Amino acid sequence: MINLIGFYPEYLSDDEDMSHKYQSIDIQGLSYEWYQLQVGSTSKDIIFWKRGEGFDYLTFEKNILLRLQKEYSSKEFISIFNDYRKFNTPFKYIPALSWWGNVLSSNWHKIKDIKNISNTHQREKLFLSRNRIGKDHRKKFILFLRQENLIDRGYVSIGWENKFIENLEETHLLNPTLKGVPYNKPAHKDFNLLEYYSDVFCEVVTESGCHPIVHDDPELTRRRTPFGYFDSEKVWRPFMMCVIPMIITYPNYDDYLKDAGFDMFDDVIDTSFYRIEDLDEKNRIIKNNLEVIENDLTINGRFRDSIWDRLKKNQEHFIDYKNYYKYVWDKING
């Protein structure tokens, strides 16, 4: 097992001076006094790093960064933040990709098995989709699958109906109605689903957040989307497991992942659904893409060789965690 959960400046580059230049501080809460103590205890410049929900970047900037800048005007502040929108900010800002290391760490002891996923066998199902908590965009997606007679074409978890594809003794722990159970205890153990990922061509990921409510008044927008455009561990599974990703989440998420070096297959499937907020239209495009995957990107129950090569490159890019720090380093120097 390795621990890649967190941000370590010494991994930024081969420059040994890098770890002496920056101190990393994990963002937790909005207590100014806590950050004041952390920043004041070091002579280094600061990289703030955040994963999870909690609050958006603009809230952090207003309540913490602008106040710290007044008190520590000689320090450089960089934010690596789990909110992938573009901001007009006086500080250097980098969208975080912060769950990449979490997923790699939690699956590391089975990484050889994961790397051995092959294209030598016939796959029986078209797609996989894991849906735990019954949020509106997930319920609409499941309803769409049923209306279009697609539900049996995939492995589909429907948590609010207590239906899970996970073939585990601890599957019941995923039931969102249970009380006193460690959150998502088995859900991050993606290696347990190797037999399912090896039997499909695509994962339709329904992220934790999806549909922003945008108003003319920016303050009203922040109230309706208080966490910003955040992402989670869910998006990394298709890259790790060598299947084509389609992700239902906040707008333009594919641009964010392409910027980090991942292939979104936008030359062979219609990725316009990433820019469309209407969920019904998103689902129709995803259905059409499933037909393209089945008819054009696969043959005799296997990926076409050209597609498989690209899937393996995605997996290799994900497993080599130096690529995460290269992404950050390029942004720092950009």
The structure tokens listed for 207 are 């992220």
| Tally of helices (H runs) and strands (E runs) in the chain | 14, 10
d(CA 51, CA 230): 8
At 18, the pLDDT band (50, 70, 90 cuts) reads low
pTM: 0.91
SS3 204: strand
At 75, the pLDDT band (50, 70, 90 cuts) reads very high
At 3, the pLDDT band (50, 70, 90 cuts) reads confident
User: Mean per-residue pLDDT for 130-148?
Assistant: 94
Point out the domain boundary residue: 76, 96, 116.
Answer: 96
Question: Is the model's pLDDT at 124 over the cut of 90?
Answer: yes
Where do we find the tokens 């297959």?
265
Alpha carbon 64 to its chain centroid, in Å, reads 25
Domain presence at residue 114 = yes
Q: Are residues 124 and 45 in the same domain?
A: no
Question: Is the model's pLDDT at 19 over the cut of 80?
Answer: no
Between the two ends of the chain, the Cα-to-Cα distance in Å is 33
Q: Are residues 209 and 80 in the same domain?
A: no
Q: Which helix (H) or strand (E) holds 78?
A: strand 77-81
Domain presence at residue 2 = no
Q: What is the pLDDT of residue 20?
A: 80
Point out the domain boundary residue: 74, 96, 118.
Answer: 96
Q: Are residues 237 and 296 in the same domain?
A: yes
SS3 50: coil
Lowest mean pLDDT of 46-50, 222-226, 267-271, 284-288, name the range: 222-226
Q: Are residues 63 and 153 in the same domain?
A: no
Where does 168-297 show beta strands of DSSP type E?
A: 202-206, 244-248
At what angle are helices 136-147 and 279-296 packed, to 10 degrees?
50
Q: Are residues 39 and 91 in the same domain?
A: yes
Q: Which distant-in-sequence residues (6+ apart) come within 8 Å of 248 by Cβ?
A: 137, 141, 204, 205, 206, 207, 210, 273, 279, 282, 286
Question: 158-183: per-residue pLDDT in tens?
Answer: 988 888 886 555 555 556 566 665 54
Point out the domain boundary residue: 38, 68, 96.
Answer: 96
Q: What is the pLDDT of residue 324?
A: 97
Q: Are residues 91 and 116 in the same domain?
A: no
Q: Are residues 268 and 198 in the same domain?
A: yes
Lowest mean pLDDT of 34-38, 122-126, 166-170, 290-294, name the range: 166-170
Q: Rg of the chain over CA atoms, in angstroms?
A: 21
Q: Which helix (H) or strand (E) holds 274?
A: none
Domain presence at residue 315 = yes
Domain presence at residue 314 = yes
Domain presence at residue 4 = no
Q: What is the pLDDT of residue 159?
A: 86
At 185, the pLDDT band (50, 70, 90 cuts) reads low
Q: What is the pLDDT of residue 213?
A: 55
What φ, ψ does residue 277 adopt, rounded to 5°? -85, -25
Q: Are residues 130 and 183 in the same domain?
A: yes
Q: What is the pLDDT of residue 108?
A: 94
Domain presence at residue 265 = yes
Question: Is the model's pLDDT at 218 over the cut of 90?
Answer: no
Query: CA 42, 48, 51, 54 torsion: positive or negative?
Result: positive
Q: Are residues 164 and 231 in the same domain?
A: yes
At 277, the pLDDT band (50, 70, 90 cuts) reads confident
Q: Are residues 78 and 160 in the same domain?
A: no
d(CA 195, CA 268): 26
**Domain span at residue 25?**
9-96
d(CA 247, CA 51): 19
Q: Which distant-in-sequence residues (6+ apart) come within 8 Å of 48 by Cβ?
A: 24, 25, 27, 60, 65, 77, 78, 79, 80, 81
Question: Is the model's pLDDT at 203 over the cut of 80?
Answer: yes
